Amino acid sequence: MIHILEKFSNAIGVSGNEDEIRALIEETIKDHVESVSVDFMGNLYAVKPTKAKNAPHVLLVAHMDEVGLMVTGTESNGLLRFSPVGGVDSRLLVSKRILLGKERVPGVIGAKPIHLQDRNEWKSPLPLSALYIDIGASDEKEASAKVPLGTFGTFQTVFESQRDVVLGKAFDDRAGCSLLTELLMTEDDEEYPVHITAVFTVQEEVGLRGASILAERVRPDYCIAFEGTTAGDVPRGPSESPSTEMRKGPALSFMDRTAIGSDKLIDHFSQTAKIKNIPYQYKKTVSGGTDIGVIHMKGGIPSLVLSVPVRYIHAPKGILAVEDYKNAICLAKEALMNFKEVL
């Protein structure tokens, strides 16, 4: 199971530049579905029909894109100015290694050395305007030739395993993409009793843009989104509750800032987990948003988000418990195989 997540995590796919990860997903799933296609925005569609009569049509969604950077300026000394793409925390950026463009030009995010800062600058994190990317260029001409304006950048992070956890970049939402891929790779004697359209969407991190066309284009009866979500089981105040916790199973969401989950679907997934003895939890915060926000709003489609808890999402390296990932696949598969209970 984990080898697919590893491949997807190591691939590059900043919002608006998803070509590499889309090609990798398509190559992985093409022999397990009836058809694949790509729309004008770059969303990847996979159709997996059923022989069951009067079967409901279920849309399964995971977004391909990851947060990253875009080069927006070049200084005379060859240093590059940049802007974030998606929700990037500037406090995490100083000294991080970056890969730029298709050529994977290596760079380091730099800032004024602490030895040259005055004491007032020590009191707060450096703003993005004080940061730059250093690719070792000697001047503006050399830097622009290697890395033109508009070039996307991603963190130079390599997937690795450590005991019962894995570490890597872009688990939001390569964990969801890998999970969805695993669901499509059924055995010859297995068939879901639902018609499935799986969509790997683009530009979720910059405003749910890819998913905004899906409700009318697909017209499903139900929608389920697979996500990597914040694991809040880190040091916190005594009155603060973690959003989710690692090693407690996949999380079901009642509500976030963009949508309220379907009672029918929440009940079906939770009851399936109890019957099959699969660990699960409920997400305890209502922050953030997912693709079902625009799908649910535009189509009035009963929807649900199933998430894998991840520590440090949107950071250069996240941590995910293997058992949570495997239990998410197990729960989603069992729930889809018994989907008649939703009706």
Same domain, 73 and 52: no
Quote the CA–CA distance of 115 and 178 in Å, as a whole number.
Answer: 44
Query: What's the chain's length in residues?
Result: 343
- Provide the H-helix boundaries in 185-342: 214-218, 263-275, 292-299, 322-337
CB of 43 within 8 A of CB of 212? no
Residue 328, CA distances (Å) to 127, 183, 214 in order: 38, 10, 24
Write out residues in the chain with pLDDT < 50, as ranges: none
Same domain, 229 and 129: no
Same domain, 53 and 84: no
pLDDT of residue 240: 60
pLDDT of residue 183: 97
DSSP 144: H
Do the domain assignments include residue 161?
A: no
Same domain, 290 and 200: yes
Do the domain assignments include residue 140?
A: yes
Domain count, the chain: 2
The pLDDT tens digits of the residues spanning 66-96 come to 999 999 999 999 999 999 999 998 888 999 9
Do the domain assignments include residue 115?
A: yes
pLDDT of residue 116: 67
Same domain, 16 and 135: no
**CATH assignment at residue 95:** 2.40.30.40
pLDDT of residue 343: 63
Beta bridge partners of 99: 106, 154
**Helix pair 19-29, 2-10: axis angle to 10 deg:** 160
The pLDDT tens digits of the residues spanning 104-121 come to 999 999 987 777 677 776
Quote the CA–CA distance of 157 and 192 in Å, as a whole number.
Answer: 36
Same domain, 46 and 60: yes
**CATH assignment at residue 293:** 3.40.630.10
275-293 CB burial, b ≥16 within 10 A, e <16: eeebebbebebeebbbbbb
Same domain, 233 and 331: yes
Do the domain assignments include residue 162?
A: no
DSSP string spanning 245-269?
A: -TTS--EE-SB-SS-B--HHHHHHH
The H or E element spanning position 237 is none
Catalytic residue status for 245: no
pLDDT of residue 259: 83
Same domain, 311 and 248: yes
Same domain, 59 and 173: yes
Domain stop point among 155, 179, 211: 155
Do the domain assignments include residue 13?
A: yes
Identified catalytic residue from 18, 66, 182, 204: 204
pLDDT of residue 14: 97
Do the domain assignments include residue 20?
A: yes
Same domain, 178 and 268: yes
Q: Which of 211, 310, 218, 216 is nearest to 258 (CA)?
A: 211
Give the tokens for residue 241: 């509750």
Q: Is 14 helix (H, G, I), strand (E, B) or coil?
A: strand
Same domain, 44 and 182: yes
Do the domain assignments include residue 164?
A: no
Domain that holds residue 124: 68-155
Domain stop point among 106, 124, 155: 155
Same domain, 230 and 242: yes
